[in-house]
Structure 1
């Protein structure tokens, strides 16, 4: 299969193998939340100690992924993808047989290393498999694996863990990893290997002020999302008045919004990149502001949560493509750095949300989230205006 033939296809089947890999990674990241009590009881640790398996995973993605991307830049992209999936399978395999907490933590760190690098390299490959005007759409198809994992994979993994033991959950994820690996080997074409770029040149491409500003914009968007989402259960139970078992179905609806938003966001970004990013940040700010009122009304709250999930994830494919386009010498590192910044935003949002609950109140979370996204919007508008002025000046 040559490159020209691949580019004629609007969305090659090869992208679906990336989607399968993203699905497996999404499962391994989030399923631990549903089986945390089982893990804590079996390994004789407290819930809070077991919770560090989530925190350290996020830090492993944030810190380890860019380093691994730099160290593996000379490996052909297809080969790197299946090496990452092999490492992912090994990490989950170790989790199945982990005799104690320390070994399980080490296994989680191994899988965390594969997370950001897979998405970083995968986004570059997906965007190279389609014409330039469909790049964001291709990235969104790959990222859909992560969102579908939240709707189907995590509930399924949690069910398996609760009925067959938590180790069975990681076994199922390892099997999913094997399926993704087979898809990558069979369907991802051998793309032309780019000339290796020096580490100094890659870092220079990524630490340019404009790109760092977009990483900050992305981190603020994620911080706004996780300020609220981390505590969505107590919000819906204590303020809206839903029974705890009902929250699961609301989160499934949120996940449906996330998946829809991811696909629609890719199409919007391919149509008008920067206007769509800014428009979506504005929409998220408005929706979270409205949530400060609708959170008191059960039906309105559910509708708002669905719209919020749709808008919050619609912005991500476009932001990913924008960041890759700013680092022509290091698109994979830029893409991976975006995931690192996003994970730092997740952690910051969870911390800010906890601070808000302690020092303000639970019902203050939506407007604080809106403020964080609004700050990202202001920075985005400033970048856009500066770029337009620069473009006009160059034309003149």
Structure 2
């Protein structure tokens, strides 16, 4: 006979369930970018209009993360997390059968509200479940779901979109959501209720120039990356003439180095310091964008994406650690706002890229010239983020490392 699971076993079960939930959320957030080639072809819309699906979703997640955090204070977290995954699954199932772009846009908008709820609330729950000596490792573990989604989700979406159509990629997210909801229901204990964040905490964050500068670094980094990344699938197809397998392989390659960067971060962040990790990560991304015109083949693009992959995910993770160290007493508000900044950056970058693509098309640019200038836009954002990050680090040093 087997007895009741131990506290350690229950914690392990919850960590794996929440990690898979984040993997599912990450796959859903990335599904449009991964299957964008077939989506614009099937719905007969331009690349610029297809990219607006990414921008609109990012805006919703940006506004939703802090708003929902303020509204769900008294909810049982087990029910809340399961409900968000069920909503995610239903939304992606309906999106898979949307007949037109006009029908898909509101469905996509409503679906991603779940992402604004699940990821920050999963982190808050893990902070409650795990003992102090395991709290940091447990939170990092569940965020690995996003990294794994970048390794597996993007290539799968790309391959499915090219081989079977974007609707099947959306359908896969619906199936994953159902599985994640069941797993979280089975693994999570009932009765976990967290208090709503205090209004005073929000006020202190919003009026602190250094903390807001660090959060702005996150937004600028996201804008720089998504100025290009939102349109990278059609870029691979139209400019590099990559086929479905090569496009999928490039996404897998990028995600693998993103995961490697996160693993290296967890090993060296205490030794090097979060601010230096952020500066190094941003510099790696800036280097990739600077030499972007040199990537004239699939192999050259794979080499170019190595620095970006190593820095992209590590930068966001280091930003979370940086904010937590700068003002631990404001961690809840800072994490929610930093999550919002990630999505804000994605929205700004995707929208800016859309405007540039539309302008190129309006002047009669051919397929190869449709994406001219995107990497320069992205580089400008990253360089601005580096400058602001250095200023914030020096300001904190003058205050003894605390906000």
Residue 244 (structure 1) aligns with? 242
Once the two structures are TM-superposed, the CA of residue 353 in structure 1 deviates from its matched residue by 4.5
In structure 1, how many angstroms separate the alpha carbons of the residues matched to 2:319 and 2:69?
19
Q: Is the 8 A contact 1:262 1:316 kept in 2?
A: no
In structure 2, how many angstroms separate the alpha carbons of the residues matched to 1:342 and 1:205?
20
**Residue deviations 1:195-247, cap 9 Å, x none?**
4444x2243144132332121010111122223334546766787xx432234
Once the two structures are TM-superposed, the CA of residue 364 in structure 1 deviates from its matched residue by 5.5
Change (3 A) 1:386 1:284: same
Residue 202 (structure 2) aligns with? 203
Residue 94 (structure 1) aligns with? 94
TM-score of the superposed pair, with normalisation by structure 2:
0.78
Q: Is the 8 A contact 2:13 2:187 kept in 1?
A: yes
Q: Is the 8 A contact 2:35 2:233 kept in 1?
A: no
Change (3 A) 1:211 1:132: farther
Change (3 A) 1:299 1:132: farther
Q: Is the 8 A contact 1:27 1:150 kept in 2?
A: yes
Once the two structures are TM-superposed, the CA of residue 134 in structure 1 deviates from its matched residue by 6.4
Which aligned pairs between 1:295-306 and structure 2 lie closer than 5 A? 295=295, 299-306=299-306
Residue 365 (structure 2) aligns with? none
Change (3 A) 1:189 1:301: same
Change (3 A) 1:135 1:311: farther
Moved more, 109-118 or 11-20: 11-20
What RMSD, in angstroms, separates the aligned Cα atoms of the two structures? 3.9
In structure 2, how many angstroms separate the alpha carbons of the residues matched to 1:392 and 1:168?
49
Residue 381 (structure 1) aligns with? 390
Once the two structures are TM-superposed, the CA of residue 129 in structure 1 deviates from its matched residue by 5.0
Residue 322 (structure 1) aligns with? 322
**Residue deviations 1:29-53, cap 9 Å, x none?**
2223454566567667777655543
Change (3 A) 1:39 1:238: closer
Residue 279 (structure 2) aligns with? 278
Change (3 A) 1:286 1:82: same
Please give the secondary structure, in 2, of the residue aligned with 1:391: coil
Residue 66 (structure 2) aligns with? 66
TM-score of the superposed pair, with normalisation by structure 1:
0.79
Which aligned pairs between 1:75-90 and structure 2 lie closer than 5 A? 75-90=75-90
Once the two structures are TM-superposed, the CA of residue 61 in structure 1 deviates from its matched residue by 1.1
In structure 1, how many angstroms separate the alpha carbons of the residues matched to 2:162 and 2:283?
40
**Residue deviations 1:62-83, cap 9 Å, x none?**
2223222211122243332222
Residue 122 (structure 1) aligns with? 122
Residue 366 (structure 2) aligns with? none
Change (3 A) 1:328 1:117: farther
Moved more, 349-358 or 51-60: 349-358
In structure 2, how many angstroms separate the alpha carbons of the residues matched to 1:259 and 1:164?
27
Number of residues paired by the alignment?
386
Change (3 A) 1:325 1:130: farther
Q: Is the 8 A contact 2:55 2:351 kept in 1?
A: no
**Residue deviations 1:126-166, cap 9 Å, x none?**
45555667666544433332233233334434555666665
**Residue deviations 1:227-275, cap 9 Å, x none?**
3334546766787xx4322344223211211122223223333543333
Residue 214 (structure 1) aligns with? 214
In structure 1, how many angstroms separate the alpha carbons of the residues matched to 2:265 and 2:70?
29
Which aligned pairs between 1:329-344 and structure 2 lie closer than 5 A? 331-344=331-344
